[in-house]
Amino acid sequence: MATPIGNLGDLAPRAREVLASAGVVAAEDTRRTGQLLARLGLERPLVSLHEHNERRRIDSLLSRLHAGEDVAVVSDAGTPLVSDPGLLLVRAANAAGVEVRTVPGPCAAIAAISVAGLPTDRFVFEGFLPSRAAARRARLDGLRSESRSLVFYEAPQRLADSLDDMAGTLGETRRAVVARELTKLHESVYHGTLRELADRARSDPDMSRGEIVVVVEGASAPPAATAAAEIDRVLRVLLKTLPPSQAAAIAAELTGAGRNACYARAMSLREP
C-alpha cells in the first residue's frame, strides 16, 4: 500500500483504514512507519521488510496470511515495489494463491511526470542510474534513441554529475525537468535543457537538496535527411545480392519507411 512521499495529507482514507485493521504491518523501516502510525493515532504490530531480509521473511509472513491475517506492506515513502522492497513477497504470495490487493496512492515518479510538462502519453521509468560514472554513462548510452520520456530517481549528491552525463549522452539541448521535494515545504520544479540544468545544479546548492526525480524528454525522430541516408545505406547492401523488389521489402521492414518509397529508391540506386 502507498504512503505519502512528504505530505501526510496525501494518505488516502482507505490506506488509513487498511493500516488500522492490518494484522501486521511489514515495513521497510519499522521506526519510520512507527512514526507514521503514531501521527495517525494508530498502533499496530510491525515487522521489518527490507532488501536485506525480504527473502528470509517470506515464510513467516505467508504463514500469517494463510492463517487469515492481513499483512500491509509499506515502504518508507510512496509505493512499495517501485525502487523499494516488496517484490519477493508479492511474488511469493501470488505463487501461494494468496490474494494480493493494492491500496494505490503517492509515487514520486508519477508525481514528477504530472508537473513536468513533458510528454506523458508514453514514458519509461528508469529508477536509479548506477552510481559509478562508467556504468551510468553506459546505461544512458543505451537510452540515447529512446523516444519516450525518461523518468529517473536521483540521489542529491549525484545530481550534477548525472545531469552532466545526460547532457553528454542524450544531448545538451534536450528538455528536462528536475522535481525536488515534491509535496513538501521546499517543493521546487526546475525546467530547462539538460545543459542548463546541469550548469544550474553546479552553481545552485539548493537544487541538489532533498529528494529528486529527473524527467527527460524522449529522443526526437531522426531528421528526414538522416532517415534517407539510412535507407540508402541499407538498400546499397541489399542490392548487392537481391533484386530491387526484395531489397525494397527488407529495407522497408528494417527502416520503417514505406515499401513503395524504398522500391523507387532501389530502382534509382540499382547499378545500370
Residues that bind ligand SAM (CB under 6 A): 5-6, 75, 77-79, 82-84, 107-109, 153-154, 179-184, 211-213
Give CA–CA dist 235/232, Å, rounded: 5
Q: How far is the CB of 224 from ligand SAM (least distance, A)?
A: 38
CB of 83 or CB of 193, closer to ligand SAM? 83
Give the residue closest to ligand SAM by C-beta. Answer: 78
Q: How far is the CB of 211 from ligand SAM (least distance, A)?
A: 3
Give CA–CA dist 11/33, Å, rounded: 13
Q: How far is the CB of 238 from ligand SAM (least distance, A)?
A: 46
CB of 170 or CB of 212, closer to ligand SAM? 212
Of 30, 39, 38, 34, nearest to 7 by C-alpha is 39
Name 186's Cβ contacts closer than 8 Å, sequence gap at least 6: 180, 206, 209, 210
Give CA–CA dist 76/31, Å, rounded: 10
Give CA–CA dist 109/124, Å, rounded: 10
CB of 23 or CB of 192, closer to ligand SAM? 192
Q: Inter-axis angle of helices 194-203 and 159-170, to 10 degrees?
A: 160
Name 106's Cβ contacts closer than 8 Å, sequence gap at least 6: 2, 3, 4, 5, 10, 77, 78, 79, 183
CB of 78 or CB of 244, closer to ligand SAM? 78
Q: How far is the CB of 95 from ligand SAM (least distance, A)?
A: 23
Q: How far is the CB of 229 from ligand SAM (least distance, A)?
A: 40
CB of 152 or CB of 244, closer to ligand SAM? 152
